[in-house]
Chains A and B, each alone.
Chain A
Amino acid sequence: MSRPRAQIVGVGETRYARWGRIGDVTEHALACQAIQRAVADAGLSLDDVDGLASFADDRNEAVFLAAELGLPALRFANMVWMPGGGGGCAAVSNAAMAVETDQAEVVVVYRSLCQGQFFRFGTGGMDASAPADPRPPTLQQASSLLLASMGFAMPYGLLMAAAAYALPTRRHMHLYGTTSEQLGRIAVTFREHASRNPRAVMGGRPMTLADHQASPMIADPHRLFDCCLESDGACAVVVTTQERARDLAKRPVEILASEQGAPKGYAFGPFTNANIADELYATGGCEELAGRLYGKAGLGPRDVDVAQIYDHFTGCVLMQLEDYGFCKRGEGGPFVEGGALSWPDGSLPTNTHGGSLSEAYIHGLNHVVEGVRLLRGESTCPVEGAEVCLVTSAACVPSSAVLLGRR
């Protein structure tokens, strides 16, 4: 492909903390801090930024952030139409489209979360300690298509992500014999990577497979240590044109290809949809997307040196490894059990920052940040000679991914 490709030229983040621990800074102020750091990392000024992109129903609207940051002009403001963490790489993709088509020159992708100031994702927004409404239970008027669809999940208690993503994982175990120990191996590996990363919330908390197996059951087969963290923090990524990237502070990282979307009939994935096609149910739903992504870049899974895989839950990591072709369907368990994801000796060092399971849960935009650092040689788990890094966003929902390359 000959078209000029967008580049990532800056990354930055605030401190990461356990949910509720950042109470003294508002979520949008935290977003501003991450954006400033990413722009400074690029060797740019906020006066150079003319676009903002985000995802996952961001509370911190780009138009207000642009005003707070004093951007001279906002030419591009965009949010991905997909739920939750599935849109992180899509936001990067949208930023790339903007700069490649001259809708803007410098677009910052951002994500900020202060769960203590809003609500904990782990609860699904429900408060089980709240007193019951004394009125008799009744049907509610849906104010959105999402709520009408959730009508077929909510009355059964299916609001908690740990339960929703357990459904395809349980079926994967049934079909292929995947075990809890194999899932645990993923969590333990990412914790080991986090132990080298000073930003990681769980950096000082080593975990063994026995610890994983002893952790309390949340939603079978998900034990506590199969579930991602709930974190406060923000991060940001600066995207610009190939031309503008030439003379900046850091070696640019190229967006070799990006893809977003969902297969036919997928809707919100297993969260609300019991009727995903049988052949898609016990997968991350990303196989078609992966094929398009590799096709665009002219690469295949064997060309990927390192991966940052969205790890909301261990089972979703395992199914994505199959979707993206690192092993055959159903062989994710033995693949991870063999140590493939381990830095430095595995065949596919994965989540070199510790991921959402052990660095922080910033809706996976921190995986893009790590992908960039790794290809610059700045990761705390450096992979020598790495040229291609796959970054994925949440699977088992409409998803997205980017292939990053070192120039």
Chain B
Amino acid sequence: MSARFFPDSMPLPFADAITLPWWQAASEHRLVVQRCTSCEHTRLPPAPICPECRSADSAWKEVSGRGEVYTYTVVHRPIAAGQQLPYVIAVIALEEAGGVRVISNLVDVEPDQLEIGMPVEVVWEDMSADLAIPRFRPTGRQGAP
């Protein structure tokens, strides 16, 4: 069992054929970025061709799930029923990802301890058997795996 941080009522992700492999990897608790096999440029969100060299050849690269906070906001209004307030939305600059960032939530952190540059690591939240969402927490925190 993974930890639960947000209620089932959170907005659900949408995917199409291009972004589906990212979500399939997530369901296996693998955080991936799309890497152009022609010029090595990494990208997210997934896209049909490389925006740098326009090659259609790409592969999925798994990253460590470590990174640092690039920016954040502490939100005091609910978006979903049953949500605990406030909650934190952050942009995380991922390690080993060629500069790629992701939008996510920070959990297990007091809002007044937040700072840009704070090291964080992924923690997976299984919303259901088929859907896992990557959230992040300060590196080295104890808790659910």
Q: Taking beta carbons and an 8 Å cutoff, which residues of A are in contact with B? A: 123-124, 126, 128-133, 136-143, 145, 147-160, 162-163, 166-168, 170-171, 174, 216-222, 264-265, 272-275, 281-282
Give bound CA distance, A151 to B18, whole Å. Answer: 12
Give bound CA distance, A265 to B43, whole Å. Answer: 10
Give bound CA distance, A336 to B68, whole Å. Answer: 31
Given contacts A139-B12, A148-B18, contact A130 B45 (CB under 8 A): no
In the complex, the answer to whether B78 meets A155 with C-beta atoms within 8 Å is no
In the complex, the answer to whether A154 meets B101 with C-beta atoms within 8 Å is no
Per a CB cutoff under 8 Å, which of A124, A140, A157 touches B14? A140
Given contacts A138-B12, A142-B14, contact A152 B77 (CB under 8 A): no
| A217 proximity list for chain B (CB < 8 A) | 74, 76, 86
The 9 closest A-B pairs by CB, nearest first: A166-B73, A136-B128, A132-B9, A142-B14, A128-B78, A274-B101, A137-B127, A171-B71, A220-B74
Give bound CA distance, A248 to B54, whole Å. Answer: 52
| A137 proximity list for chain B (CB < 8 A) | 8, 10, 12, 127-128, 131
Per a CB cutoff under 8 Å, which of B18, B72, B111 touches A170? B72
Chain B positions 114 through 145: 1 when the CB is less than 8 Å from some CB of chain A, otherwise 0: 00100000000001111101010000000000
Q: Taking beta carbons and an 8 Å cutoff, which residues of B are in contact with A? A: 6-16, 18-20, 23, 43-45, 51, 70-83, 86-87, 89, 91-92, 100-105, 111, 116, 127-131, 133, 135
In the complex, the answer to whether A157 meets B79 with C-beta atoms within 8 Å is yes
Q: In the complex, how many angstroms separate the beta carbon of B39 from the nearest chain A beta carbon?
A: 15
| A170 proximity list for chain B (CB < 8 A) | 71-73, 116
| B89 proximity list for chain A (CB < 8 A) | 156-158, 163, 167, 219
| B20 proximity list for chain A (CB < 8 A) | 139
In the complex, the answer to whether B129 meets A136 with C-beta atoms within 8 Å is yes
In the complex, the answer to whether A157 meets B73 with C-beta atoms within 8 Å is no
| B16 proximity list for chain A (CB < 8 A) | 141-142, 145, 147-148
In the complex, the answer to whether B13 meets A155 with C-beta atoms within 8 Å is yes
Give bound CA distance, A166 to B90, whole Å. Answer: 10
**Chain B residue at minimal CB-CB distance from A127:** B81
Q: In the complex, how many angstroms separate the beta carbon of A81 from the nearest chain B beta carbon?
A: 18
Give bound CA distance, A138 to B102, whole Å. Answer: 20
Per a CB cutoff under 8 Å, which of A128, A141, A222, A272 touches B80? A128
In the complex, the answer to whether B8 meets A133 with C-beta atoms within 8 Å is yes
Q: What are 10 pairs between A and B in contact, CB < 8 Å?
A: A132-B80, A132-B81, A132-B82, A145-B16, A148-B45, A151-B13, A152-B13, A154-B11, A160-B75, A163-B75
In the complex, the answer to whether A155 meets B11 with C-beta atoms within 8 Å is yes
Give bound CA distance, A220 to B90, whole Å. Answer: 11
| B105 proximity list for chain A (CB < 8 A) | 156-157
| B8 proximity list for chain A (CB < 8 A) | 132-133, 136-137
| B76 proximity list for chain A (CB < 8 A) | 216-220
In the complex, the answer to whether A138 meets B101 with C-beta atoms within 8 Å is no
Per a CB cutoff under 8 Å, which of B10, B18, B87 touches A155? B10
Q: A150-B14, A157-B11 are in contact. List 16 more A-B contacts (CB 8 A).
A: A123-B79, A126-B11, A132-B8, A132-B82, A140-B14, A154-B11, A156-B135, A158-B89, A162-B75, A174-B116, A217-B74, A218-B75, A219-B77, A220-B111, A222-B73, A281-B70
Give bound CA distance, A137 to B45, whole Å. Answer: 21
In the complex, the answer to whether B133 meets A155 with C-beta atoms within 8 Å is yes
**Chain B residue at minimal CB-CB distance from A222:** B73
| B80 proximity list for chain A (CB < 8 A) | 126, 128, 132, 157
